[in-house]
Amino acid sequence: MQREPLFNVPPVVTALIAVLIVVHVVRLLFLSAAQDQYIIDLFAFIPARYDTTLLLGNILPGGWGAQFWTFVTYAFLHASWLHLGVNIVWFLPFGTAIARRFGAMRFLAFFAVTAACGAMAHLIAHDGDNTIVIGASASISGTMAGAMRFAFQRGGPLGARRAGPEGDPYRVPAIPLLFVLTDLRVLMFIIVWFAINFLFGVGSVPLAGEGQAVAWQAHIGGFLAGLLLFSWFDPPDQARPPQQSALPH
């Protein structure tokens, strides 16, 4: 029976984690406080950037271009090593599952779209606010939701029966969106996920770092995007049940 290596992480996931770490190291070790603040102002997601009635929106660097790229670039910045470490721990299993199913290019597109949807959800909830949003949590939430579309399926990585040597547990047919909430395991995962985000976001449990609030609306936006938009990125040949072998007439 074939077994996958314990740490068989797809190269795109490894590369993305490496980028997150390098960005944090450069900010921490090679930039002055003023330079780091400029990077934050240029690449972080700040709702006030989109309010033309506020002075802050006019003095932030990047101009109109930053109004677009910050929907994604904020995901590459983190508040602390704890913030980055927690995100990596969650990203490894769920990002790996999605990357194995989607392939590198689809995975990167999925990461960007879920990040953007997370930022949009935060913008809707905090229109005109001058708080800074950073971190890959929205995209990681998206990978969690996306993985739930196939992980518990029969033959899937968390299913009761794993695929045999000739099958790939990461390429089983996905649960149709209309039936997601009918699977008790998926439903329980969603309930627990929202409960945890309520605890960290609405409660008083620190996560991003001392004095840093958790942008829980961005988490929800990324999670819902991963759940609802999964089929947009799922390769067509994986969305259908495998064909039965033809019998002779």
Three-state SS annotation for 55-119: HHHHHCCCHHHHHHHHHHHHHHCCCCHHHHHHHHHHHHHHHHHHHHHHCHHHHHHHHHHHHHHHH
Secondary structure of residue 52 in the 3-state scheme: coil
The amino acid that residue 219 corresponds to is H
pTM metric for this prediction: 0.85
- Examine the pLDDT at 61 and tell me if it is beyond 80: yes
Report which of residues 196 and 77 the model is more confident about: 77
Please, which pLDDT band fits residue 148 given cuts at 50, 70 and 90?
A: very high
Q: What angle do CA 121, 12, 42 make, to 5 degrees?
A: 45
- Examine the pLDDT at 244 and tell me if it is beyond 50: no
- Examine the pLDDT at 7 and tell me if it is beyond 90: no
Please, which pLDDT band fits residue 165 given cuts at 50, 70 and 90?
A: very low
- Average pLDDT, stretch 3-22? 84
* Measured distance CA(198)–CA(203) in Å, rounded: 7
Please, which pLDDT band fits residue 199 given cuts at 50, 70 and 90?
A: confident
- Examine the pLDDT at 150 and tell me if it is beyond 90: yes
Q: Which two tokens stand for residue 208?
A: 């991003």
Q: Which of 144-153, 162-171, 199-208, 232-241 has the highest mean pLDDT?
A: 144-153
Q: Structural domains in the chain?
A: 11-238 (1.20.1540.10)
Can you give the pLDDT at residue 160? 56
Q: pLDDT exceeding 70 applies to what percent of the chain?
A: 80
Q: pLDDT exceeding 90 applies to what percent of the chain?
A: 59
- Average pLDDT, stretch 78-96? 95
Distances (CA, A) of 72 to 93, 148, 160, 181: 21, 23, 36, 29
